[in-house]
Structures are given as C-alpha cells and as structure tokens.
Amino acid sequence: MDRTERLPDAELEVMQALWAHKEYPASSGALMEALAGKRWRTPTLLKLLTRLEERGFVRRDKEGRNNLYTPLVRREDYLAAESREFLRRLHGGSLPSLVAALMDSRAISQADLAELEDILRGGGGGA
Amino acid sequence: MREFLFSLFEVSLTMGAAAALLLALSPVWKRRFRPQWRYWAWLLVALRLAVPVNLSLPQAPVTLPAPAPVELSAAWADGAGGLRGVEFAARPAEDVPAGEQGGTAQADTAAAEPSPGLSLTGAQLSLLVWAAGAAGVLAVQLSRYAAFRRRTRRWRSPAGACGGIPVDTCALLSAPVLVGLVRPRILLPEGLTEEQRAYALAHEGAHAWRRDLWYKALLLWVCALHWFNPLVWALRRAAERDVEICCDAAALAGRDEGWRRGYGAALLSFVSARPAAPLTSQFAGGVRGLRERFRALASAAPTRRGRIALALVLCAALLGASLVSCQQEVPAPPTATPPGEMLDPAGLADGTYWATLLPSSWVQEDTVAELTLTLVEVDPDTMALTSGMPYQGDGVTLPLAEDVVLGNHGDRGLRDFLMWSLASSHYPVVLEVEVSGGEITAMTWHDASLPEGTPPVTAAEVEAVVHGVDPEAGTLTYAEDDGNVGADSAWITAPVPRDGPIDLETLWERVAPLSSWGLPCTLLVQSDGWIAGVKAGSLYDGVYHIGPIRSVTATLEEDGSIAAFDAYLYEVDPETGQAARTVREAEFQLSWLDDSGPEPRYRPYGDIALCNEDGTPYGGSATAFLEDYMADWEVLGQPSAAGRPILQVTIGGGVVTSMTRLPAPESNP
C-alpha cells in the first residue's frame, strides 16, 4: 500500500474502533458508541472521519441521513507499514536501552537458529 | 571544576581498568561462577562509576561549577545513597532546583575559587566537551525511549495483569517487553499462545521483580557520564547480557526440564517470529548473546560458586583502582600478573606445553574462541606420558589466537583438527601447544604412548543417568546414579569411540523426549574415561545374533504388537556364517517407556529397520516380521544347524533399532 503515512493518535483511535467493528459499513452513531470512553463530541468524530476519508483510509456512503463508513485499509496492512517504520526508527530493530525485552534479537540467520535449537536440545549443555 | 574533571577521569580510568580486568577474565569466570555473581560485580563497578567524585580525598570537595550538565552529575553524587539519581537523569538539567543540590555552602565556595595550575579556558573547554557528550548520549537514549513509549501506547490494549503488573498487548511488537521504571508494564505481541504467554510473563515478571530496568538505567547513566571511555560501554554490553541470563535463571528457578525446554522454545519462537524487516538484516550482533543464554538454559550443571575468589578479585580490582590517583602515572591495565591467578592456578606463562584435549561443546561453534586443555607431561624422546593421564585432571582454558598455526592434521581446518583426538586410531594422542601472551598461538598433534607400567585400560560398570548426548562431538554427559540425580550432581562429559558399538544418534532419540533428568542405564566406563558401552535394557547397545525366539514377553495394550521378546544369543562365525547357540539369554525390547505424560506408558519404537535375507527392506510391521521369522523357524528350524534362519538385531539406546535376517550359510555336512 502506498499510504504509509502515520496517522495521528486521534485518527488511529477512530480507525481502531472501525476495525474492531464487527460489520461494515458502520454508522457514525455506532462508532460514537464504541468510542464512548473518549468523551468526544460527535462533530469531533465526524471531522476525524472526514480527514480519514481524505487520506483514503475510509469510504463514506450516504444512507438517508446516516453516514456509513467502510475501512479501505486493512488493519494488518496499516500495522505492517507502521511497525516497519517503527523498527526503522528504533535503529533497525534494536530496542531502547530502558526496555527489557524477552528477546532483543537483531536479524538472525537460519544457521544461527539451527545452532541455537541444537544447544537448546541439550547438545551444548552438560557439565 | 578542575577537581571534578580530575576525579571524573580518575574514576573513569581506574574503573575502566577494573572493567577491563573483569572482561579479560570473563572466559575463566564464565566457567566458574554463576551469572549472578557477575551481575553483582558489574553493579559494584557501575556504582563507583556513577559517582565520579574522589571519595578517597578527606575533604571530599563537591564542586558545582556553572555549566548546567555538571550540576546534573553533582546532584547525582549527592543522591548517591539511593538510586534517586536515575529518575533525576530524565529531567532536563535546567530544572534542577538549587535546594536539591544539597548542603553545599562549601560547594559554592569551591565553585567560586579559580582553579590554580590549569588555564581556565582549557579546563572550561574540556568540561564543555564532556558535558556536551554526556548530554548528547542522554538525549539520544531518552528520546529513543520516549519515542518507543509514544509509539507503543497507540496500539496498547489491556490484557490482564501479572503479579500486580499490568499486562497489555501491543500489535507493534514482535517480542514481549517490560517498560516503565516507576510503574512497570508488560507489553506482549498479539497472537501469543497460552503457553508462550506464560513463558513471556515469567521472564518479564522476573525482570520487574528484580528491578532490572533500574539496573539498566544505572548502566545508561554511567555510559552517559563516561561516554568517552569505550571500556565503560563494553562493561554495559556485558552487564546487560548477564542481566538477561540472570533473569532467565530467576524465571527458571524450581522449574523442571520440560518447562525449561518450553521456555527455550518460546525464546526461539520470538526470534523467528520477527518479521524480516528490510533494515534489520544488517544487525547480526545479537547471536552471540543468545548463544550464551541458550547455553545457560541448556546446561544442567550450575557452575561453581567460588564466592571467595570472586570477592578477592573484586577487592583487588576496586582497591587497586582507588589507590591509584591521577597525580601519579596513568596505571597500566593490570594484565601482566592478574589477580586472576587465584581463579586459575594454571594460568600459563609463555612457552610450549603438552596437553590432551577433551572433546566438548566447542565443536558446536563455527569459530572456536577458546579451548580447555588437560596438561600432561611427555618425554619428548620416547613420546611417553610421564605424568598425567589423558582426560584426567583439571582443565585450563585458554583463548585461541586469531591466526593460530595448526601443525599435523591441521590441513582441513580448525574443526577437523580438534576432532583428531576422536578420529585418530592411535591412543593416546597429545597436543603440543604454544602459548604466548595468554593465547594459544600454535598447535600440533603427536602420537604418544602411555608410561611404562601403566596398568592396562580397565572398564567398570557404572549405574548412571545419561543426560546429554552430543553425536557431533562424540560425547555423552552422565552422572552416577545415586538415586538423587539433579542439577547438583557431578555431571561428566565423556568421549565415546566413533567406531564402537554405541550409536549416539539413536541414544539421543531416547534421551531427548524424557522429562526426567535423563536415561538411567549402565555405562561401561574405561579407566581412561572413555565410554565403552551403554546398557539401557538387558543388553549393551550393539549388534547381536539370535536363533529362535523363545517367547514374546510383552505386547502393547493398544494393538497387541510385540513389545519385547526373549531369545538365546548366537555366535556367528564370520568366515562360514555358521551360527552356534550360546548359553546367554536376553530380552529384546521393541518399545520404550515414555514418562513425559501424566502416566508413563510404553510406546512402540517406530523406526526399526527391517531387512530380508536378500538385503531388501521388509515391507510390513516389526510384529509381522517377527511372526514370519518365527513361522520359518517352525518349518526350517529342525534339526540341523545348517540352513536355520538367524536374525541380526541391533540395539541402540536399549531398544531394537534394526533387525536383519541373515542369509543361510552354505550347507556343511
């Protein structure tokens, strides 16, 4: 996908709510409900949705007086793009030093993996 | 100002030397000490580095010159009693309230005094350069951290808690992490299995419980203060690796072998789950640390403790360091006669030595960094060993020089060279080793002989538990079975002859799935340390011949297939193929006891190679094969020896691994 731009926090929240919605299209009312915890006013939501529409992230269909929204970007695609950029930002995959990761691995070759598996199976163990 | 710079450099230099000493000795102490001790050693050195004022001066002047970043470090020094300075490090220097700098009318006067002896501009300039560097390091690290927190926050969604620590999933991550110095929080990647989640929480929970993030913050602070000192950065790398190993140890404490394996597998799964982002491929530095962690996971036997020796080394390093002051000459790093002598009495001077080489885990490495030698003495005229027996005695571990010269049997590379002690048909072979500057610079193999009057090699049966098998190295690891085999047992890694009856691959297939410490069996241990036989069932592993099957002694409940049978052993004359019955009778097992489930049960051993008389593979099951064989005996078996069917049976790991019908010998009237 070409839309690798990173969404601002608020717009991402709207997208998260839309992605989490079980059926598409979703009405703005349903989205408002899903975002109830945010204390947004409806115009705020509509403005955010308009911006998302301009970015090409959602499609708006009119049904009577209701606006119905369908995501045009899948969550996986957007997530993949953002995490790619995230990793790039963080020195190509290494985590900042104030974080304790289970596995702060840089890229590891297949041969390395095989060797590690070997050690794990007990080959390298012993006294 | 001058005092501050001096004491900073002094602390940096002396602690750098201490770190260098500890790093240089790490091949030795990795072997001898639990990682926990290394963790504490790094902590001591880091704490000293974190307070870069000269504690040994009686008046202890805390200088507080004008430039902001120095206030930072001065305030740190002030709060040295606790770890308050770490939290403080996150604050911009300008925010430091004057009151927090602590009781320092004296400090103010110290700052006001002109520094004699140094040109003001020179001192100020160096101070500025240092301060800019320190601020730069802090800024980069903290902004990366801030970016990380900001970016992950958008994708968080709550997923329970673990021992009071909130747990979130975060879709951006591919491996679990712990964040938050003050309020720790565990972030898990999406889509973990229940099991993976448990292992991940065990690890990150241990991090949180051990306050490892504070440790890391201290290391970060130390690196910022001493950014100009590469030894401090090296210390941090080593310390962070040991933090991980200690954390693994804490997470694994009291867990059984199965859990350990699962944990290791989970670690691996997070490695392989990482998406191949285009930019990550250039960072291949993580493998070394991983390798160590896996070693630590897989090794059953904990390394010796040796607190006293470690304490002595540390005292020597810290004391030695603090006795040196900047007014004197810059101290040479104490490598010539390191206090490490205490760790390793065999620390070798330059020269040529004779040694035997016990094959061990080095064959796993692509590049061998160090070798453990067992020193012996050899009469160079007769090549007889005059003292020491092969593989017996304490080893001395030395690093290999990068351009180590290999002599005899070295033409196919280091790996094959090192395998020679196993491959050689001569016994014993000894290694002539040249040591220079604490490194092995050249090696060559020689055939040797045992000293005259050496008792012939004898062998004794030992009840043992086989824990690990390394088919590649040709070794197995065992402990004598005292009924209480565990991590504290004396585990021995012993070589196994390549061309002998023991099939290590098959043995490994038996040992690997066990949930207990290993496979109980009888080992035939030679007086030279080699393993001549393994008996996990009623017979030693090897090739046997049998005549008629006397009885089927066990069948599997599920399908009635033959699980064990009983037969007389036969001797086959290799010349004529004639077989003759012996008086020995033995039970042959076709199934193995699987104790990994809740209830131990017998399972059919699946991979029995079955072979017809004409050399073609037999198509059916082992049970059908045996029933055919028994039926043929009914028909052909009576009464003369010639022409009677004979079965060649191979036993590996106590279980039948192949059965071959031998062609009938020429009829011999």
Tell me: the pLDDT tens digits for B469-495? Answer: 888 878 888 888 887 777 777 778 888
DSSP code per residue over B573-623: -TTT--EEEEEEEEEEESEEEE-SSSS-EEEE-TT-EEE-TTSPBP-S-HH
Lowest mean pLDDT among A1-5, B103-107, B425-429, B442-446: B103-107
Residues 292-351 of B with CB under 8 A from A: 294-295, 297-301
On chain A, the residues whose CB falls within 8 A of the CB of B298 are 119-125
According to the model, what pLDDT value does residue A90 have? Answer: 62
pLDDT by residue (tens digit) across B66-102? 333 333 333 333 333 333 333 333 334 444 444 444 4
With bands split at pLDDT 50, 70 and 90, how would you rate the model's confidence at B131? very high
According to the model, what pLDDT value does residue B95 have? Answer: 41
Does B175 contact A at CB distance below 8 Å?
yes
What is d(CA B418, CA B362) in angstroms, rounded to the nearest whole number? 9
Q: Is residue A52 part of a domain?
A: yes
CATH of the domain at A53: 1.10.10.10
What is d(CA B280, CA B254) in angstroms, rounded to the nearest whole number? 36
Q: Is residue A17 part of a domain?
A: yes
The total number of structural domains that make up chain B: 4
Which of B447, B471, B490 is the endpoint of a domain?
B447
- Tell me the CA distances in angstroms from A14 to A46, A72, B27, B170, B394, one per residue in order: 10, 13, 55, 17, 67
Q: Per-residue pLDDT for B498 more than 90?
A: no
CA-angle at B144, arms to B139 and B146, nearest 5° = 90
- How many angstroms separate the CA of residue A87 from the nearest CA in chain B? 8
With bands split at pLDDT 50, 70 and 90, how would you rate the model's confidence at B167? very high
Mean pLDDT: which of B26-35, B335-344, B580-589 is highest?
A: B580-589
Closest CA to A57 of A33, A35, A34, A75: A75
- How many angstroms separate the CA of residue B435 from the nearest CA in chain A? 26
**DSSP letter, residue B449:** B
Q: Is residue B528 part of a domain?
A: yes
With bands split at pLDDT 50, 70 and 90, how would you rate the model's confidence at B308? low
Considering the domain architecture, whether residues B289 and B186 belong to the same structural domain is answered as: yes
Residue B319: Cβ within 10 Å count: 11
Considering the domain architecture, whether residues B588 and B481 belong to the same structural domain is answered as: no
- How many angstroms separate the CA of residue B458 from the nearest CA in chain A? 24
CB contact under 8 A, B268 and A113: yes
User: What integer best gives the mean pLDDT of chain B?
Assistant: 73
Q: Per-residue pLDDT for B448 more than 70?
A: yes
* Whether B90 contacts B114, CB under 8 Å: no
According to the model, what pLDDT value does residue A116 have? Answer: 65
With bands split at pLDDT 50, 70 and 90, how would you rate the model's confidence at B503? confident
Q: Is residue A27 part of a domain?
A: yes
Q: Per-residue pLDDT for B293 more than 80?
A: no
On chain B, the residues whose CB falls within 8 A of the CB of A126 are 299-301, 360-361, 467-468, 470, 475, 477, 491, 493
Task: Write out the two tokens for B342.
Answer: 């205490």
Q: Is residue B240 part of a domain?
A: yes
Q: Is residue A80 part of a domain?
A: yes
According to the model, what pLDDT value does residue B98 have? Answer: 42
Considering the domain architecture, whether residues B487 and B616 belong to the same structural domain is answered as: no
For chains A and B, what is the number of CB pairs under 8 angstroms? 205
With bands split at pLDDT 50, 70 and 90, how would you rate the model's confidence at B135? very high
Which of B535, B567, B599 is the endpoint of a domain?
B535
Considering the domain architecture, whether residues B250 and B395 belong to the same structural domain is answered as: no
What is d(CA B280, CA B27) in angstroms, rounded to the nearest whole number? 30
With bands split at pLDDT 50, 70 and 90, how would you rate the model's confidence at B134? very high
The residue assigned the tokens 């098998």 is B469
- From the list B147, B213, B294, the residue facing A120 with the nearest CB is B294
CB contact under 8 A, B298 and A123: yes
CB contact under 8 A, B294 and A119: yes
According to the model, what pLDDT value does residue B366 have? Answer: 53
Domain of A46 in residue numbering reads as 1-95
Q: Per-residue pLDDT for B265 more than 50?
A: yes
Domain of B302 in residue numbering reads as 2-271+284-310
pLDDT by residue (tens digit) across B309-361? 566 666 666 555 554 443 333 333 333 333 333 334 345 778 888 887 765 43
On chain B, the residues whose CB falls within 8 A of the CB of A97 are 141, 145, 216, 219-220, 240
Candidates A16, A82, A95, A105, partner chain B, best to mutate (most B CBs within 10 A):
A105
Chain-centroid distance of CA B27 in Å reads 12
- Tell me the CA distances in angstroms from B86 to B101, B165, B219, B228, one per residue in order: 15, 21, 10, 20
- From the list A9, A86, A125, the residue facing B299 with the nearest CB is A125
According to the model, what pLDDT value does residue B253 have? Answer: 78
State the complex-level ipTM.
0.76
Closest CA to B21 of B224, B226, B234: B234
Q: Per-residue pLDDT for B282 more than 60?
A: no
* Whether B524 contacts B531, CB under 8 Å: yes
Q: Is residue B333 part of a domain?
A: no
> In chain A, whose CA is at the least distance from the CA of B362?
A124
Mean pLDDT, rounded, for B384-410: 74
On chain B, the residues whose CB falls within 8 A of the CB of A100 are 177-179, 204, 207, 212-213, 216, 243, 247
* Whether B428 contacts B529, CB under 8 Å: no
Residue A98: Cβ within 10 Å count: 24
Candidates A98, A106, A113, partner chain B, best to mutate (most B CBs within 10 A):
A98
Q: Is residue A64 part of a domain?
A: yes
Output the furthest CA–CA distance in chain B (Å, rounded). Answer: 118
Higher per-residue confidence, B499 vs A49: A49
pLDDT by residue (tens digit) across A71-105? 998 888 888 888 777 766 664 445 666 666 655 54
On chain A, the residues whose CB falls within 8 A of the CB of B285 are 106
Considering the domain architecture, whether residues B477 and B524 belong to the same structural domain is answered as: yes
Which strand (E) or helix (H) includes residue B439? strand B439-447
Backbone angles phi, psi at A25, to 5 degrees: -70, 160
According to the model, what pLDDT value does residue B501 have? Answer: 80
Task: Write out the two tokens for B321.
Answer: 């360091």
Q: DSSP H helical segments within chain A, as ranges?
A: 9-20, 28-34, 42-55, 75-89, 110-120
According to the model, what pLDDT value does residue B422 have? Answer: 63
Backbone angles phi, psi at B535, to 5 degrees: -125, 100
With bands split at pLDDT 50, 70 and 90, how would you rate the model's confidence at B287? low
Q: Is residue B151 part of a domain?
A: yes
**DSSP letter, residue B101:** G
According to the model, what pLDDT value does residue A1 have? Answer: 43
Residues of chain B with pLDDT > 70: what percent?
68
> In chain B, whose CA is at the least distance from the CA of A83?
B172
The total number of structural domains that make up chain A: 1
What is d(CA B496, CA B487) in angstroms, rounded to the nearest whole number? 23
